[in-house]
Amino acid sequence: MGETPIAEGLFEVVDGAPRLIGGRRKRDGITVFPMPAGPEGRLYDPVRLSAEGTLWSFTVQRFRPKSPPYAGADDEASFRPFAIGYVELPGEVIVESRLEVDDFAALRVGLPMRLALAPFALAGGETVTSYVFRPAA
Amino acid sequence: MTDVHIIGAGIHPFGRHDEMSGLDQGVFAVRQALADAGLAWEDIQFAFGGSAAAGNADAALPRLGLTGVQFINIANGCATGGSALLSGYWAVKSGEFDIGVVLGFDKHPRGAFNADPEASGLPRWYGQVGMMLTTQFFANKITRYMDLHGITPRSLGLVAEKAYQNGALAPHAWRRTPVDFETIMSSQMLSDPLTKFMFCSPAEGGAALILASDRKMRELGLKGPKIRGAAVRTRGEGSFEVFAPSLNITRGPSPTQTASKAAYEMAQLEPKDVDVAQLQDTESGAEIMHMAENGFCADGEQEQWLAEGATKLGGRLPVNTDGGCLACGEPIGASGLRQVYENVQQLRGRAEDRQVEAARIGYSQVYGAPGLSGVVILEA
Residues B281-294 as b or e (16 or more Cβ within 10 Å = b): bbbbbbbbbbbbbb
Residue B299 belongs to some domain of the structure: yes
Residue range B110-166, pLDDT digits in tens: 776 678 888 888 999 999 999 999 999 999 999 999 999 999 999 999 999 999 999
| In chain B, % of residues over pLDDT 90 | 94
- Please report the pLDDT score of residue B110 as a whole number: 77
- Please report the pLDDT score of residue B112 as a whole number: 65
Residue range A27-41, pLDDT digits in tens: 999 999 999 999 999
Cβ separation A98–B130 shorter than 8 A? yes
Closest-CA distance, A120 to chain B, in angstroms, reads: 8
Q: Which of A47, A58, A96 to mutate to test the interface with B (most CBs of B within 10 A)?
A: A96
Give the helix/strand (H/E) hosting A10: none
Cβ separation B116–A84 shorter than 8 A? no
State the Cα–Cα distance between residues B155 and B303, nearest whole angstrom.
6
Cβ separation A62–B144 shorter than 8 A? no
Q: What is the DSSP letter of A3?
A: S
How many A×B Cβ pairs under 8 Å? 119
Residues paired with A54 in a beta bridge: A88, A112
Question: What is the average per-residue pLDDT within B67-95?
Answer: 95
Cβ separation B128–A71 shorter than 8 A? yes
Give the helix/strand (H/E) hosting A116: strand A112-121
- Please report the pLDDT score of residue B114 as a whole number: 73
As for how many domains chain B has, the answer is 1
Q: Taking the CB of residue B116, how many other CB atoms lie within 10 A of it?
A: 11
- Please report the pLDDT score of residue A137 as a whole number: 73
Residue B186 belongs to some domain of the structure: no
Query: Euclidean distance between the first and final Cα of chain B, in Å?
Result: 19
Candidate from B114, B140, B189 with C-beta closest to A58? B140
Please name the residue of chain A whose CA is at the shortest distance from the CA of residue B113: A66
Please name the residue of chain A whose CA is at the shortest distance from the CA of residue B194: A59
Cβ separation A37–B123 shorter than 8 A? yes
Query: Is residue B181 less than 8 Å (CB to CB) from chain A?
Result: no
Chain A residues close to B141, C-beta within 8 Å: 57
Cβ separation A88–B249 shorter than 8 A? yes
What is the CATH classification number for the domain harbouring B343?
Answer: 3.40.47.10
Asked whether the predicted pLDDT for residue B90 surpasses 80, the reply is yes
- Please report the pLDDT score of residue A55 as a whole number: 98
Please name the residue of chain A whose CA is at the shortest distance from the CA of residue B145: A57
Residue B35 belongs to some domain of the structure: yes
- Please report the pLDDT score of residue A1 as a whole number: 47
Q: What is the DSSP letter of A136?
A: -
Mean pLDDT taken over chain B: 96
Cβ separation B116–A96 shorter than 8 A? no
Residue range A74-101, pLDDT digits in tens: 999 999 999 999 999 999 999 999 999 9
Please name the residue of chain A whose CA is at the shortest distance from the CA of residue B124: A69
Please provide residue B252's backbone torsions phi and psi, each rounded to the nearest 5 degrees: -140, 180
Q: What is the DSSP letter of A80?
A: -
Chain A residues close to B139, C-beta within 8 Å: 59
| In chain B, % of residues over pLDDT 70 | 99
Q: Where are the domains of chain A?
A: 11-135
Cβ separation A10–B132 shorter than 8 A? no
Closest Cα to residue B283, out of B363, B378, B179, B193? B193
Cβ separation A34–B188 shorter than 8 A? no
- Please report the pLDDT score of residue B77 as a whole number: 86
Residue range B266-300, pLDDT digits in tens: 999 999 999 999 999 999 999 999 999 999 999 99
Residue range B187-222, pLDDT digits in tens: 999 999 999 999 999 999 999 999 999 999 999 999
Chain A residues close to B143, C-beta within 8 Å: 57-59, 85, 109
Residue range B246-274, pLDDT digits in tens: 999 999 999 999 999 999 999 999 999 99
Asked whether the predicted pLDDT for residue B306 surpasses 90, the reply is yes
Residue B176 belongs to some domain of the structure: no
A residues 21-80 lying closer than 8 A (beta carbon) to B = 22, 30-34, 37, 56-63, 65-66, 68-72
Query: Is residue B114 less than 8 Å (CB to CB) from chain A?
Result: yes
Residue B185 belongs to some domain of the structure: no
